[in-house]
């Protein structure tokens, strides 16, 4: 019996009409509390219980990629733990890796609230958070305190974005400043140029701009940290193709596909229901609200983008797939289209903490059905035409 879906979710989403951001903050608060006192009772007991019920260890799910060991291919997507306050707890919830951030050089509050909405009819979310985070220096100090190679139970990615106060022309210096502060604490880094919620940011996906941005980071990256670029699902094929060429030319490690979409055309939801916040009692028109859509409406498009990149590169450029994963079938589609790893955010909100376990068990079943010995053998098997 799944208590989360039967009792907790209906109560939180419908009964209490709780504000999604408030709920997110409470979740993060509890998890960071568990992390802080994780070695003492009762938090150590709780962490052990979580591990027992939520984790799946199986050698067939393990991969060694870019110098790091991933115990399984399902990671936490960027945006959930923006400040890295629960960086060491994600492994106890079953995740195979966790991406922190987006982190910006300067601390910033993000956009005014409300800025996160649920679309239950579509199993989706709309967010325009705007990179609220405590800034690269503060996050580096936090990670330096707790994240060593020994304490890091799973690989940690750090997603970097541009500070809102920094003009677009100075973006490279801004990303570079964050990278310098954080480079010791991540197993991989992500250049996020695809959030719809920082004015002008997506223009950095343009080849010339992206090229100088990557150049700046690669010059600093003498330690050879894996660097990915995270792209939007709304790009045209030729724009994706030119980012792929650029990534190869500049020896990036790979692409994260994809961020949220600004499209609204395939949604059942037309009005966003009010939450319990008094200052927002009128339903809002989804077509007039700024922000990016995540969850089920994004699923097929992000898989298409993954397949396109895999085909363009004949599988030579690693891909981390993200967008609308709720089930093992969804994760399998992305992996077989070409993703070496996948990430989840919105699905985890809707499906609850058992989701990662269910996906991993389902992936093992798929491997057995296909007669494959490990998850790496499944990567891209449906990616090439005629496969
Ligand atoms: C509330 C929220 C905040 C997000 N914040 C970030 C972010 O800071 N940086 C980023 O690269 N992606 C961010 N994302 C996008 C996710 O990482 C992911 O790419 C997207 O939601 C698609 O995955 P999903 O359908 O599993 O949610 C955010 C998504 C949500 C729902």
pLDDT single digits (tens) 278-318: 455 678 899 999 999 999 999 999 999 999 999 999 999 99
127 CB under 6 A from ligand 1? yes
Contact 120, 271 (CB under 8 A): no
Q: Residue 294: helix, strand or coil by DSSP?
A: strand
Read off the tokens for 360.
Answer: 């991993």
Give the angle 332-333-338 at the CA atoms, nearest 5°: 95
Tell me the Cα Rg of the chain.
20
303 CB under 6 A from ligand 1? no
Q: Is the pLDDT of residue 251 over 90?
A: yes
**Mutation probe of ligand 1 site: the residue of 22, 125, 132, 294 with most atoms within 8 A of C-beta:** 294
For residue 362, give the nearest of 325, 318, 320, 311 by alpha carbon.
325
User: Do you know the residue count of the chain?
Assistant: 387
Report residue 47's pLDDT band, with 50, 70 and 90 as the boundaries.
Answer: confident
Dihedral angle of Cα 46, 49, 53, 58, to the nearest 10 degrees: 110
Q: Active-site residues: which are they?
A: 195
The mean pLDDT of 248-266, rounded to a whole number, is 96
230 CB under 6 A from ligand 1? yes
How many beta carbons lie within 10 A of that of residue 271, not counting itself?
12
Ligand 1 geometric centre to CA of 78 (Å): 6
Q: In this structure, what DSSP letter does residue 114 have?
A: P
**Tokens 């990567």 belong to which residue?**
379
**Tokens 């003492």 belong to which residue?**
40
Query: What contacts 217, CB < 8 A, 6 or more positions away?
Result: 172, 175, 176, 179, 189, 191, 227
Q: For atom 5 of ligand 1, which residue has the closest CA?
A: 79
298 CB under 6 A from ligand 1? yes
User: 149 vs 25, 95, 154, CA distance in Å?
Assistant: 28, 17, 10
Instruction: Please report which residue ranges of the chain form alpha helices under DSSP H.
Output: 3, 9, 20-36, 43-54, 136-146, 171-182, 207-220, 237-249, 296-313, 328-337, 346-351, 355-370, 375-378
- Tell me phi and psi for residue 97, to 5 degrees: -170, 165
User: 35 vs 92, 103, 343, 370, CA distance in Å?
Assistant: 10, 20, 22, 39
Euclidean distance between CA atoms 315 and 323, whole angstroms: 20
Lowest-confidence segment of 7-21, 102-116, 358-372 by average pLDDT: 7-21
Q: Is the pLDDT of residue 7 over 70?
A: no
Report residue 277's pLDDT band, with 50, 70 and 90 as the boundaries.
Answer: low
Euclidean distance between CA atoms 362 and 115, whole angstroms: 34
pLDDT score, position 13: 65
- What proportion of the chain, given as a percentage, has pLDDT over 70? 93
For residue 341, give the nearest of 127, 103, 155, 81 by alpha carbon.
155
Q: Is the pLDDT of residue 182 over 50?
A: yes
Query: What contacts 330, CB < 8 A, 6 or more positions away?
Result: 299, 324, 347
Contact 323, 24 (CB under 8 A): no
**Tokens 């996050």 belong to which residue?**
139
pLDDT score, position 174: 97
Q: Between 142 and 47, where is the model more confident?
A: 142
Query: What contacts 326, CB < 8 A, 6 or more positions away?
Result: 123, 296, 347, 350, 351, 355
104 CB under 6 A from ligand 1? no
Which one of 31-40, 202-211, 278-287, 335-344 scores highest in mean pLDDT?
335-344
The mean pLDDT of 106-132, rounded to a whole number, is 95
pLDDT score, position 278: 47
Q: In this structure, what DSSP letter does residue 93 have?
A: G
Q: For atom 12 of ligand 1, which residue has the closest CA?
A: 78
């Amino acid at each position: 019996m799944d208590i989360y879906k039967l009792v907790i979710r209906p109560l939180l989403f419908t009964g209490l009409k709780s504000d999604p951001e408030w709920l997110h903050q409470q979740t993060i608060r509890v998890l960071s509390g568990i992390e802080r006192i994780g070695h003492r009772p009762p938090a150590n007991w709780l962490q052990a219980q979580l591990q027992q019920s939520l984790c799946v260890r199986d050698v067939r799910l393990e991969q060694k990629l870019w110098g790091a060991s991933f115990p399984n291919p399902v990671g936490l997507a960027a945006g959930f733990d923006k400040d890295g306050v629960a960086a060491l707890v994600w492994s106890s919830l079953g995740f195979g890796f966790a991406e922190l951030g987006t982190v910006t050089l300067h601390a910033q509050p993000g956009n005014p609230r409300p800025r996160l909405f649920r679309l239950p009819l579509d199993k989706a979310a709309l967010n325009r958070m705007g990179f609220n985070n405590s800034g690269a220096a503060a996050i580096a100090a936090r990670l330096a305190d707790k994240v060593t190679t020994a304490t890091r139970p799973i690989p940690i990615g750090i997603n970097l974005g541009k500070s809102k106060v920094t003009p677009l022309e100075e973006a490279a210096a801004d990303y570079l400043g964050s990278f310098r502060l954080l480079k010791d604490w991540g197993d991989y880094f992500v250049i996020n140029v695809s959030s719809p919620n920082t004015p002008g940011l997506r223009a950095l996906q343009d080849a010339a701009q992206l090229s100088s941005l990557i150049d700046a980071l690669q010059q600093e990256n003498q330690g050879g940290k894996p660097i990915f670029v995270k792209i939007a699902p709304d790009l045209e094929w030729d724009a994706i193709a030119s980012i792929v060429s650029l990534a190869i030319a500049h020896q990036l490690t790979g692409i994260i596909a994809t961020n949220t979409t600004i499209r609204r055309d395939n949604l059942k939801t037309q009005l966003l229901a009010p939450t319990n916040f008094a200052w927002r009692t009128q339903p809002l028109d989804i077509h007039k609200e700024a922000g990016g859509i995540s969850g089920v409406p994004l699923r097929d498009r992000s898989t298409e983008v993954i397949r396109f990149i895999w085909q363009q590169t004949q599988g030579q450029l690693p891909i981390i797939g993200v967008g609308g994963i709720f089930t093992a079938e969804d994760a399998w589609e992305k992996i077989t289209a070409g993703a070496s790893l996948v990430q989840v955010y919105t699905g985890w909100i809707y499906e609850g903490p058992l989701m990662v376990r269910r996906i991993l068990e389902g992936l093992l079943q798929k491997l057995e059905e296909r007669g494959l010995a490990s998850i790496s053998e499944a990567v891209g098997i449906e990616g090439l035409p005629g496969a």
